[in-house]
Chain A
Amino acid sequence: MLEVDSISVNYGPVRAVHSVSLTVEEGEIVALLGPNGAGKTSLLSAIIGLVPVAEGTISFQGQNINRLDTESRVERGLSVTPEGRHIFANLTVEENLILGAASRRDKDGIARDLETYLDMFPILRERYTQSGGSLSGGEQQMLAVVRSLMSGPKLLMLDEPSLGLAPRIVDQIFKLISGLRDRGLTILVVEQNAQEALKFADRAYILSTGNLEFSGTAEELRTSADLMKAYIGEGVA
């Protein structure tokens, strides 16, 4: 579904991503792991078109999307839930969700999706008319995910969904994510918390200082203590 072919990303004179290739097949959950500053967010930003690609190509559903702007990529079915959630704190939960569907024109479809997701995430229905800023961290993360879903994506990319959340909430979030896969969604999840991510992922890539260090099944990575130690570090147990 998504094919990233040896792309590089520069921030001014600094090269954040060096010739990285990865693929995401339909229906998969793929984890993109790696320490802070590895270039994971840069890679996502390049895939969604917020930063230009210096080299390489990005294809989505067999079509090169290098030259499309962010908005068009969202229309085609890519969606990013940004790191740090970036909820519009000055808008209500409802308004946040409506804005999530900004790229769509099918009114009925939007209303139907809204109902479905509010059933899946009842807490959002409870908070429906509150401002986004008044939500707790976990609630904001759910809102952020649902807001991305409202665009009706084919590929959902989550940037650090567990960041800054309590372990119990992290569990909940990941359960919800794997629930989304059961609904037929393809997911690329960027995580520092490898342990959690690997519980649900089918395959994983490890990025370190802008280079791809490993690619394989989540199973391989989970069972190989050496690999884990080498790339993820011992700190995360």
Chain B
Amino acid sequence: MSAPALDRAPGRRRLWHIDGARTLRSLRGGMIIAVFAVTFGLLIMLFGEPYQVRLAVAAYVNLIIVIGLQIFMGNSNVANLSHSGFVGVGAYITAIFAAPAMIKQTLIPNAPWGIDEVQLGVVAAFIVAVGITGLVALLTGLVLVRLSGIAATILTLAILVIFHGIFVNWVDLFRGTQAFYGIPKVAGIKTMLVATAVVIVIARLFKDSRIGVQLRASATNMLAAEAMGVNIRALRLIAWVLGGMVCGVAGSLYAYYIGTVNARAFFFHAAFLTLSMHILGGMRSVTGAVIGVALISVTMELVRLAESGPVILGVQMPELLGLSGLMLGVIIVLVMCLRPDGLMGGLELDEVIRRYVKRGRN
């Protein structure tokens, strides 16, 4: 751990106090992770088949989601399952504002506030989507931070169900269970790589910031931290909103890539997939997010091959629906039983490198 936890009466100093050297080290660390994460994508972009690029894009969207998850969950140690809901908010708001008015008049002719006639530019819609996701996160967060531990986690489940209920039932705005299509497909793998790099650096800076350090210290003993004058609710709220917005970014970019949005993509299945990625890599580590996403994306793709009943040596294998889900569950249980801190523990790539170099010198 690079930052000393809770040095000198932490509550009395400004939250946003910036320590130059430390910030620089954190920034450099974030960039190292970002380069590490983006390299795979660049290679695939340059040399991969179109279907590999498709898979890579999906993996990077998931990576952005997991980073969003890490910002709250990794620092506060409160398990969160509502993140998929925030991805959905980002995606739907993008769809609502970026789809051409003409298409919207057939899709959502009864939309409230005459929203079907509004059409924003791609960038403007993105900003609005992320902003609204942040606003939604703020509103839910005000409730969430009043609870701690398990009760908070259960509330995140409730939030996911509420969001899903709204997507599916507010037909006039979200088209219910039907797909919302017509979103301009403007995002490709390049966009994903840039966004990934940016959110990784943000997450790392946040982790090492005063807020992040205090939040992590408070996660181990909330009441003691409160007694020391740390305002945990405020810290959690900041992490919650920031994490929610990153999920909103993922949702918006996903919508711009795929062109169609469907509520099914933002429910439990997606939530568990990204959660297991997060756990496998190690919740407290940004690098862990990258590794977890990479490993599970590859595994899932292989399992999916088996699942669809491939022909092996001329023999048609049976369809094994549920195999990928089974794998996910097994991964989660094994990681929790054998290595609850995940593959990376709390470490980051640059910290591992530094250790390795140090050991080499000695």
Q: Do chains A and B touch in the complex (CB under 8 A)?
A: no
Interface residues of B (CB under 8 A from A): none
